[in-house]
Structure 1
Amino acid sequence: MTVDAHKETLEFKAEVSQVLDLVIRSLYSNKEIFLRELISNASDAAEKLRFESLTDEQLLEDDPNLRVRVLVDKDAGTVTVSDNGIGISRQEMIDTIGSIASSGTRQFADALKAAQGAAEQGEAEQGQAAGEELIGQFGVGFYSSFIVADQVTVVSRRAGLTAEHGVRWQSDGHGSYTLENVEKPGRGTDVILHLREEEQEFLEPWRLRTIISKFSDHLAMPVEMVKEDFGGDEDEEKKDKDAEPEFEQVNRGTALWMRNKAEISDDDYKAFYKHISHDFDEPLTWAHNRVEGTNEYTALLYIPKRAPWDMWDRDQKHGVKLYVRRVFIMDEADKLMPHWLRFVKGVVDSDDLPLNVSREILQHNRKIDTIRGANTKRILSLLEGMAKDDPEKYQAFWNEFGRVLKEGPAEDYGNRERIGGLLRFATTHNDNDDQTVSLDAYIERMKEGQKDIYYITADSPAAARHSPHLEVFRKKGVEVLLLSDRVDEWLVTNLHEYKGKHLQSVTKGKLDLGDLADKEEQEKTEQAEKEHEDLLKRLKDSLGERVEAVRVSTRLVDSPACIVVGEHDMSANLARVLKAVGQEAPSMKPTLEVNLDHPLVRRLEAESDQGRFDDLGMIVLDQAILAEGGQLDDPSAFVGRLNKLMLNMFMSGA
């Protein structure tokens, strides 16, 4: 049959050439990674065909035994990684191989440059590790081929298409690639590496076998090579050169998660993690469990060392793969883990689910609900053990995934208390925002008579730490949690208490320190409100509808004023967060609290000229709003009043 070649030369998208150069330089000292990545991709392709063939047996054609093969041609100087999996169509070639990390190429390039910069400044090990991790995260493992090859050819045919729909992709990695239709009798993909002159070591079968045993022994998919004949020269001469080569399996080929844990080394677990996650870094920790009874399944779950680059992407996928009786069913089975644990990678293999299970079936399946609940508790136990036994390691985890964990109390009511125990916060008792404490540690050092856990939310660590609302707490030595992540507002809205201690915002309602309050101070405040009633009324009348009320503050020590909202109102910070993401926020009038001991407030009280009183009152309110991190409705009016006040002071010689 004649094939319309339809050959064309296409440019790589975005900054692919630059990225390829960075990939090669980043991984050059660990070149054998190329084979691990290509075998991993080939294995995935075969698994995907196995799944699709469950509903369409014709996809298997006359070749039902799925496998990956690694072939060497010393005369041609090539290594080929071949699979009989799902294959790739022409358009898929353009969409995937013709484009690196299409949703984040620039980010990837910038991040790799930073990793290279670290290496060039003497931090070679850190730079290499960062580069490897990024390559795994951005899904460009195929391009590691160019570490050892000066030309790469990919020949593929999608299962279900006829032989004339084969397609050949070829590139030297320098800016462009060619694409043409070819005839390919068998389905699947052949990746042919034309090795550089200096990489001839990879033409030795024993070298490739060693790499396969090292990186791919755990794969359930058979990885085959031509069986080596160690006979003499006479046997070699007797061989029929036209005979089909005999292949033998090189890897163990047993699903790692189904093996006895006692037989699996840490290196095996780490290698398997790199396969399923395409992460070049090792996992932080893992849990491997076999559950028997009414719902039988095996779960192997990993916690990565570093957050994936797309963790906050709306379209980010979960990392848990679903198998049913060792048959691969789907990637990103998002019902196997809750969304707030979306960073967890791993495998769940069920003995009870049907092989034709779909995402729709998973939505309403009690067995899946049971598995998800058990997986959640398993990860919580893993994290609790890490936090107790290795606080430094847990801190590293928290730095990467803490913001995601804070989503837990809102999404998982049943585990809210356990999640609360894993949270970490900066506080007023630590000078460094990177020094964090648990709620348990906070409770242990609460002041005698303190009933609540106090916190403040703000849009930055500095704004939280320097808020005027903290002045009385510093004076009394009472610790306050400093919350400055956007997710913190959602957290405290759903985590109302922890171990019987109420979480209380220091910016809401009339401050009630309970037994921490000084009775003399309380009496003094009550007396001051009566003595300065005229000032409070005059200031409220001047500010009008801008404020709900004006009252004497028990919060302030050094600042002239602050604003607060009602106990059950939305915080000013949450209102700003909602507006920043384009959502409506309810209009709220704050209460202005004034510090009667501050010179500016005393000056305000003594002002007889109503115009100057109004200007000074507005300045006091606007300053309180700015100190809270808010934005003024009319900044130019504030500047005008401030300039006017300063000019009057200069002219009067004050």
Structure 2
Amino acid sequence: MEAIWSMDPKDIDDEKYSAFYKYIAHAYDDPLDRLHFRADAPLEIKALFYIPSFHMEKHGMGRMDPGVSLYSRKVLIEAKSPDILPEWLRFIKGAVDSEDLPLSISREKAQDSMIVSKLRKVLTRKIINHLTKMARKDPDKYKGEFYKEYAFFLKEGVCQDFDFQDQLSKLLYFETSKTMNGELNSFDEYVARCKPEQKEIYYLCAPSRDLALNSPYLEAFEKAGREVIFVYTAIDDFTMANLEKYEGRSIVSAEKSNIDLGIDGDEKSDKEGDEKNEHGKEADDQKKLTGVEAEELCSWFHKTLDQKVASCKVTNRLDSSPAIVTDNESGAMRRMMRMVDTQEGGLDALPLAKQHVLINPKHPIILGLQSIREKEPTLAKVCAEQVFDNCLVAAGLLDDGRTMLPRLNDILLCVVKGANKDEK
């Protein structure tokens, strides 16, 4: 097969490009895209790269081997070299030729060669620039074809390749709470819609868009008119945690407790609630715990679930949900860690840390819990445990929901008995 990477791109037609790709990639289809370039500085380089139309890792075929071979003056130095591109670019197929590499260089020396290290950075930057150009000039192809197939590798690069983390972050796309289902936006598009006073980028990890839209963690952001990025997998969550910032804005999980959304503080609201209750002006449909009641209930909740709860406080960030846990480990990350741990045979090696609970002082369940905790302590304890487990479910932290079944049956029995008493 002719070394077409060393030829002038003007002298090669699509048919010859396609034939060479099928030869080196052992493929039967045409590539999604290609990059053929020549450079004289800082190194003499002739390179031809292909992006396949699909990759096999997602089909459970195992981790792919590197796909780029290294040459010097058309002499093969190393086939499928692991040193010429970072591991996250292992899906790239092609050939690289550099006359700056001595023909006598061995594969072992190539691994430690300063020239190879410099070549690696130049080639990585060139590929990222090519993808950036595709995203800008042909967004449909980038998002609909490339990103759909290779987003995982870009996120892997963000987590591994800190030299190019900023450039790679601009190539990431997400759904948000204000986009349509399937509509992907970049960080730049998200930031452009932010209110001037918003200094953070918010994200929420959930198994699906529907669950994200119905998450109790989203309630406060909708109330404040803040847009939230939706991510759906453990690698997404890990990527956000690794990025930490984008263009000077902190990237913050919606599950954190110390988020300032401009909603009235809890202390002020509690005092107002006390004043209204003292003067009898609180409407029935706006009932809420007084400051004293909230403090008593939080103390009781913490004491009752001492082995599971690190703290319990009142919050105004909730509307339709009775409680949430915050500042917890990510549910997606926990599932990934548990999967790895299970493969290693350690099923019980990941105990759940004590959680920080925030309760909604206006919710009927919380109001009811306050009213029965002294009159019916056994039932109140069962309800508190269920409220807590519901919080874990919402956060994706409950490893096995079957543990709740006996308690749920007890609660249903109480409901049925109560209904029968009302009929009599």
In the superposition, the TM-score normalised over structure 1's length comes to 0.57
Q: Which has the larger radius of gyration?
A: 1
The one of 164, 188, 211 aligned to 1:415: 164
Residue 349 of structure 2 is aligned to residue 600 of structure 1: no
Greater Cα offset, 639-648 or 388-397? 639-648
Identical aligned residues as a percent: 31
Match of 1:320 in 2: 68
Match of 1:445 in 2: 193
Q: Is the 8 A contact 1:463 1:628 kept in 2?
A: no
1:182-261 superposed matches below 5 A: 219-220=1-2, 255-261=3-9
Residue 380 of structure 2 is aligned to residue 631 of structure 1: no
Change (3 A) 1:477 1:645: farther
Match of 1:652 in 2: 421
1:303-342 superposed matches below 5 A: 303-309=51-57, 314-342=62-90
Distance, in Å, in 2 between the alignment partners of 1:462 and 1:503 is 22
Distance, in Å, in 1 between the alignment partners of 2:152 and 2:270 is 40
Residue 92 of structure 2 is aligned to residue 344 of structure 1: yes
Residue 380 of structure 2 is aligned to residue 613 of structure 1: yes
Q: Deviations over 1:65-122 (max 9, x none)?
A: xxxxxxxxxxxxxxxxxxxxxxxxxxxxxxxxxxxxxxxxxxxxxxxxxxxxxxxxxx
Distance, in Å, in 1 between the alignment partners of 2:421 and 2:108 is 78
Aligned-partner residue type, residue 575 of structure 1: R
3-state SS of 1:581 partner: helix
Q: Once the 2 structures are TM-superposed, how far is the Cα of residue 594 of structure 1 from its aligned partner?
A: 1.2
Change (3 A) 1:525 1:453: farther
Q: Once the 2 structures are TM-superposed, how far is the Cα of residue 310 of structure 1 from its aligned partner?
A: 6.2
Q: Deviations over 1:341-363 (max 9, x none)?
A: 11111110121324454442232
Aligned-partner residue type, residue 550 of structure 1: C
Change (3 A) 1:630 1:648: farther
Q: Once the 2 structures are TM-superposed, how far is the Cα of residue 503 of structure 1 from its aligned partner?
A: 0.1
Residue 122 of structure 2 is aligned to residue 374 of structure 1: yes
Distance, in Å, in 2 between the alignment partners of 1:373 and 1:367 is 10
Distance, in Å, in 1 between the alignment partners of 2:413 and 2:175 is 40
Q: Once the 2 structures are TM-superposed, how far is the Cα of residue 604 of structure 1 from its aligned partner?
A: 0.8
Match of 2:302 in 1: 540
Distance, in Å, in 1 between the alignment partners of 2:57 and 2:295 is 57
1:455-534 superposed matches below 5 A: 455-513=203-261, 517-519=262-264, 523-524=268-269, 530-531=291-292, 532-534=294-296
Q: Is the 8 A contact 2:71 2:96 kept in 1?
A: yes
Match of 1:84 in 2: none
Q: Once the 2 structures are TM-superposed, how far is the Cα of residue 540 of structure 1 from its aligned partner?
A: 1.4
Change (3 A) 1:586 1:320: farther
Aligned-partner residue type, residue 594 of structure 1: I
In the comparison of the two structures, how many residue pairs are matched?
A: 395
3-state SS of 2:179 partner: coil
Q: Once the 2 structures are TM-superposed, how far is the Cα of residue 313 of structure 1 from its aligned partner?
A: 5.2
Residue 74 of structure 2 is aligned to residue 364 of structure 1: no
Distance, in Å, in 1 between the alignment partners of 2:421 and 2:90 is 65
3-state SS of 1:604 partner: helix
Change (3 A) 1:465 1:581: farther
Q: Once the 2 structures are TM-superposed, how far is the Cα of residue 317 of structure 1 from its aligned partner?
A: 0.2
Distance, in Å, in 2 between the alignment partners of 1:359 and 1:464 is 49
Structure 2 unaligned spans of 5+ = 274-289, 343-348
3-state SS of 1:280 partner: coil
Match of 2:134 in 1: 386
Residue 175 of structure 2 is aligned to residue 426 of structure 1: yes
Q: Is the 8 A contact 2:32 2:52 kept in 1?
A: yes
Distance, in Å, in 1 between the alignment partners of 2:42 and 2:158 is 29
Structure 1 unaligned spans of 5+ = 1-218, 221-254
3-state SS of 2:30 partner: coil
Change (3 A) 1:525 1:283: farther
Change (3 A) 1:268 1:351: same
Q: Once the 2 structures are TM-superposed, how far is the Cα of residue 435 of structure 1 from its aligned partner?
A: 1.5
Q: Once the 2 structures are TM-superposed, how far is the Cα of residue 545 of structure 1 from its aligned partner?
A: 1.8
Q: Is the 8 A contact 1:459 1:486 kept in 2?
A: no
Residue 150 of structure 2 is aligned to residue 401 of structure 1: yes
Match of 1:236 in 2: none
In the superposition, the TM-score normalised over structure 2's length comes to 0.86
Q: Once the 2 structures are TM-superposed, how far is the Cα of residue 652 of structure 1 from its aligned partner?
A: 3.4
